[in-house]
A and B are shown apart, each in its own frame.
Chain A
Amino acid sequence: MIIELGHFCLILAAVVAAVQAVVPMVGAQRRLPGWMALAGPAATAQFALVAVSFGALTYGFVTSDFSLRLVVLNSHTLKPMLYKVSGVWGNHEGSLLLWVLILSGFGASAAWFGGQLSASLRARVLSVQAAVGVAFYAFILLTSNPFLRLELPPLDGQDLNPLLQDPGLAFHPPFLYLGYVGLSMAFSFAVAALLEGRVDAAWARWVRPWTLAAWLFLTIGIALGSWWAYYELGWGGFWFWDPVENASLMPWLLAAALLHSAIVVEKRETLKAWTILLAILAFGFSLIGTFIVRSGVLTSVHAFANDPERGVFILIILALFMGGALTLFALRAGAMEGKGVFAVESRETALVANNILLAVSAFVVFIGTIWPLIAEMLWDSKLSVGPPFFNVAFTPFIVGLALILPLGAMLPWKRARLGRVAWSVWPLMLLALAVFGLVLVIQTGRSVLAPMGFALGVWVIGGAAVDLARRTGRGDLGARFGRLLRLPGADWGKAVSHAGLGVTVLGVAVLLAWQTEDIRAVEVGAPYNVSGYTVTLKGVEPRIEGPNYLATRAVVEVAKEGRVIAVLRPEKRVYPVARMPTTEAAILNGVFRDLYVVIGDAQAQGGYALQVYVKPFANWIWAGCIIMALGGMLSLMDRRFRVAAGARKARAQVAAQ
């Protein structure tokens, strides 16, 4: 009964979305206030209906209702509760339901908080948002219905892919989807603005927080996925340049670009057409990402969710929305005249450079991801484009970005003197160069990647600190500290997220350059040395029973300079229901290095295979992501105040007249 209610609500939501897509749009074109006003309540109703529908499916998973096909395929009575719930979105159908839940959620919040928008812009935004919704409701109901019942329910389910039964991965898809779908808001605002024929500072002030929120969620989602790969896949890789990962990186890069160009529109009323184009493309790449993940057109590790027929449907959605929006853009973009002029040496130019570098790096990821498909279609040649390509073709643009970042962030608007800014950071430049030289000398003969990572890290993190310090002006230290604390959230957000980027860049470079791997057959009780650590396999406990798996657990003692610093317990698990083995690495986390231990098979000549990896600065990668997201949050908090303050000021002015 509850399941049928959920199914019914989903159909009803589709109908509401169809109405919401048409009526307010017509109302906005013809200036009919009643028709436009429908958008708000419709958005709220749509969200409520999808929420009920999502709740019903969750109920099906939590109560292990095996008359539901989806629950049978993806759940099991023995599965822990957390994974019963995360099983809702750990599959194709359920993840799409989550997709439309978030889509309608964003639409509803635009309706709730969009009171200050002009009636026609608000109606158009909500209408475009609903049009995207209609396409996805149709997709779910026609090709991927999560509410299909089975005539003969089995006694138990087939379990969720054990690799996915993990806290990191339980929350990875929701965050990623919040990011992907969040960019739909930027898209809706862009299309609505093209229809209105007007882009101004107020428009940018609305687009920025939504883009910022989407970017923030994408950052967290990507970091969670990468962290999961690091500890779960058993050898400490954190990024594989896999098509599915690239699918999330492209919108992230474009959202970052959009974030920066929207600042230019807001502050200086220029770069309008480019910002609109970015907003359309950013969501376009989210759709491409969905297409890549859901169609399995590019085979990848994540292929547990693929189906070619569904791929065609998403391709049609993609063609429809991108084709429509880009045509509209071609027709209307000419009308978006920029107002502000700026000199070559200015913040605006720096942000244009930022946008070019981010867009080009996204494009490089795109062409590398899509190339195997192109080569197969045009020349019938099957080939792979893997990490070696991306490391060479992608990295230079990010290095360039990191190099110009501190200078660009400190340049004044409109007309600046580069020399003056450079003068205030020359000690930092010297420090970065000194660090480069020092590390180069210390490491003797290894790749230049590590010194570059350290130098760029110092340059970017230090640059963020100098930026903050400069904002406090002159005077004695106490007064400047007071001013520092009172700086607007946006300033803090900018400095913090820039510093986060520096931390991540440092972590990635140093880990890749300095990690070591030791694989050997080990007798129980025989100590050996790995990069200065004494490792001893103390024993192996076979057949430990988990809730839905069996494990072999090794006890490994790690000592440094004769002192035991940790006892690690790596496991090898087997999930009998899903018929899959997994490795559970044991990791000794540290600020400057991780010790990563994996237990292997029993050896023919006695003993066990043991892998020990030393991963320097590994945690900096994800710490940097968290810092970036934190910066986004700080900035977002500031925005809310300013949007509200701006509105208050506007009202006060109206009242005064």
Chain B
Amino acid sequence: MRWFATIALVLWAGAALALDPSEMLADPAQEARARALDHEIRCVKCQSETVASSNADWAQDARRAIREQVAAGASDAEVKAWFVARYGDFVLMDPPKTGANLVLWVAGPLMLLAGLGLAAGAAARRRRLPEPAQPLSEEESARLRDILNRE
């Protein structure tokens, strides 16, 4: 088991938690803001993870960068702009609401309207057509005769 333990010890260094207390800001209000920003910045070295939950080195560096700027008095928008300038829009979990990206937000409501329109159209068409009278089937006419004869 010795090799087992050796490898384990080597690996242990990487087994960090996402956010370590030593990274955190002393001012709770500032730390809360930084923590909220953690959830909006993507870890670009990871897969669909924010820097809030990733324990990759890149995410740790990103959290440090966020906290340095927050401590220096930067606004949320300024911190995000800092990341976008370096890593592009990819680094934001929420894509910028400009240009073609607007399709994302209007697609759902537009489709809802289209669906409602189609349904209303179909309903209107149906109301114009009277319900077609169905001729009785053999069996039904037989039953009708039975009932009529009985009386």
Residue positions of A touching B, CB distance < 8 A: 233-235, 237, 240-243, 299-301, 303, 338, 341-342, 344, 349, 352-353, 356-357, 359-361, 363-364, 367-368, 371, 375, 378-379, 381-389, 392-394, 396-397, 517, 519-521, 543, 545, 550, 572, 574, 576, 579-581, 583, 598, 600-601, 603-604, 609, 611, 657
Contacts and interface: CB of A to CB of B under 8 A. Distances in A.
A574 B20 contact: no
B93 A388 contact: yes
B71 interface: no
B34 to A, nearest CB: 12
B47 A386 contact: no
B121 interface: no
A233 B107 contact: no
Given A576-B4, A576-B11, A356 B104 contact: no
A271 to B, nearest CB: 9
A221 B8 CA distance: 33
Contacts of B49: 240, 301
B7 interface: yes
B146 interface: no
B21 to A, nearest CB: 4
Contact of B53 (A237, A303, A363, A521): A237
A581 B15 contact: yes
A326 B126 CA distance: 25
22 contacts: A234-B18, A240-B48, A300-B47, A301-B49, A341-B131, A344-B123, A363-B108, A364-B107, A371-B95, A383-B95, A383-B101, A385-B95, A386-B50, A386-B94, A517-B35, A519-B21, A574-B8, A576-B8, A581-B12, A601-B16, A609-B22, A657-B139
B108 A397 contact: yes
Nearest to B17: A600
Max chain B C-beta neighbours (<10 A), residue from A353, A378, A379, A383: A383
Contact of A383 (B7, B90, B126): B90
Given A360-B111, A384-B95, A386-B93, A242 B48 contact: yes
B126 A341 contact: yes
Contacts of A342: 126
Contacts of A352: 119
B115 A384 contact: no
Given A384-B91, A520-B21, A299 B116 contact: no
B100 interface: yes
A383 B104 CA distance: 12
A579 B88 contact: no
Contacts of A543: 5
A356 B109 CA distance: 11
A579 B93 contact: no
Contacts of B139: 657
B1 interface: yes
Please report whether the interface of chain A is mostly helix, strand, loop or mixed according to DSSP: mixed
B89 interface: yes
A357 B47 CA distance: 30
A548 to B, nearest CB: 9
Max chain A C-beta neighbours (<10 A), residue from B92, B112, B116: B112
Given A574-B11, A581-B12, 20 more contacts: A240-B49, A342-B126, A349-B119, A357-B112, A359-B115, A367-B107, A375-B100, A383-B90, A383-B101, A384-B89, A384-B92, A389-B104, A393-B105, A520-B24, A572-B15, A576-B3, A581-B11, A581-B15, A601-B16, A609-B21
Given A237-B53, A389-B95, A581-B14, A368 B112 contact: no
A609 B127 CA distance: 68
Contact of B42 (A235, A359, A384): A384
Interface of B: 1, 3-5, 7-8, 11-12, 14-22, 24, 35, 39-40, 42, 47-50, 52-53, 88-96, 100-101, 103-105, 107-108, 111-112, 115-116, 119, 123, 126-127, 131, 139
Nearest to B110: A360
B92 A600 contact: no
Contacts of B8: 550, 574, 576
A544 to B, nearest CB: 11
Contacts of B3: 576
A514 to B, nearest CB: 15
A368 B19 CA distance: 28
B93 A387 contact: yes
A360 B48 contact: no
Contact of A356 (B50, B89, B100, B112): B112
Contacts of A389: 93-95, 104
A344 B123 CA distance: 8
A388 B53 contact: no
Contacts of A517: 35
A388 B90 CA distance: 14
B20 to A, nearest CB: 5
B89 to A, nearest CB: 4
Contacts of A243: 48
A267 B35 CA distance: 53
Nearest to B12: A574
A251 to B, nearest CB: 18
Contact of B89 (A382, A397, A574): A382
Q: Which 10 A-B pairs have the closest CB atoms?
A: A386-B93, A581-B15, A600-B17, A388-B94, A356-B115, A521-B21, A576-B7, A383-B89, A364-B108, A382-B90
